[in-house]
Amino acid sequence: MDPDLLGILMRWLHVGSAIVLLGGTICLKFVVGPVLNDQSPELREAIRGRWKKFVHAGIAGLLVSGLVNYIRALPQHQGDGLWHAMVDTKIILALAVFFIASVLVGRSKGTQKFRDNAGKWTTIVVLLGLLIVALSGVAKVATSPKASEAAVENTDPRDAALAR
């Protein structure tokens, strides 16, 4: 059987982008951020400018691979309430993470209030990011197509007939 090259590439891109975006934010929150508090605005600006490129690349990587993953996984999870609950919820949370992560490295006046409370909003990004990974893991393990087939097999045949 030919290896699913697109599936492998999208998984590398998705999990890789998640590692960079979430890992980098945790490093900023607990390692770099506390040290930067009494450093010059120039130094903070230099770090913001560099991290911004990773944030934009990470968001692009997660969106592209996430959409491809989602479209390819849909047929296998038709009627799979748990998978949709996990994945659809995480996508909504991910859009919130993308917005907050973008304004924290942004410059527009309208979103300055987020950067004035960068500590609080970075914590929110970390907590949402960890929740998203947890939901993704449940979606991956608890609702694999095999799990869905097994669930159907163990269902009372009369109910299974109704479900088809």
Choices 45-53, 64-72, 107-115, 145-153; region in contact with ligand HEM by CB under 6 A = 64-72
Q: What is the dihedral of CA 50, 56, 58, 63, to 10 degrees?
A: 180
User: Using the rule CB under 6 A, which residue among 28, 55, 94, 118 binds ligand HEM?
Assistant: 94
**Shortest distance, CB of residue 2 to ligand HEM, whole angstroms?**
19
For 88, 90, 92, the CA distances from 95, given in Å and listed in that order, are 11, 9, 5
**Shortest distance, CB of residue 105 to ligand HEM, whole angstroms?**
15
Q: Is 61 in the site for ligand HEM (CB under 6 A)?
A: no
User: Using the rule CB under 6 A, which residue among 50, 107, 113, 140 binds ligand HEM?
Assistant: 140
Q: Is 28 in the site for ligand HEM (CB under 6 A)?
A: no
- H or E segment to which residue 136 belongs: helix 118-142
The burial class, CB within 10 Å (0-12 / 13-18 / 19+), for 124 is middle
How far the first Cα of the chain sits from its last, in Å, is: 29
User: Using the rule CB under 6 A, which residue among 67, 96, 127, 142 binds ligand HEM?
Assistant: 67
User: Using the rule CB under 6 A, which residue among 124, 131, 133, 152 binds ligand HEM?
Assistant: 133
Q: Using DSSP, state whether 117 is helix, strand or coil.
A: coil
Please report, as a single letter, which amino acid is at residue 60. Answer: A
Number of residues that bind ligand HEM (CB under 6 A): 22
Q: Which residues bind ligand HEM (CB under 6 A)?
A: 14-15, 18, 22, 62-63, 66-67, 69-70, 73, 87, 91, 94, 97, 129, 132-133, 136-137, 139-140
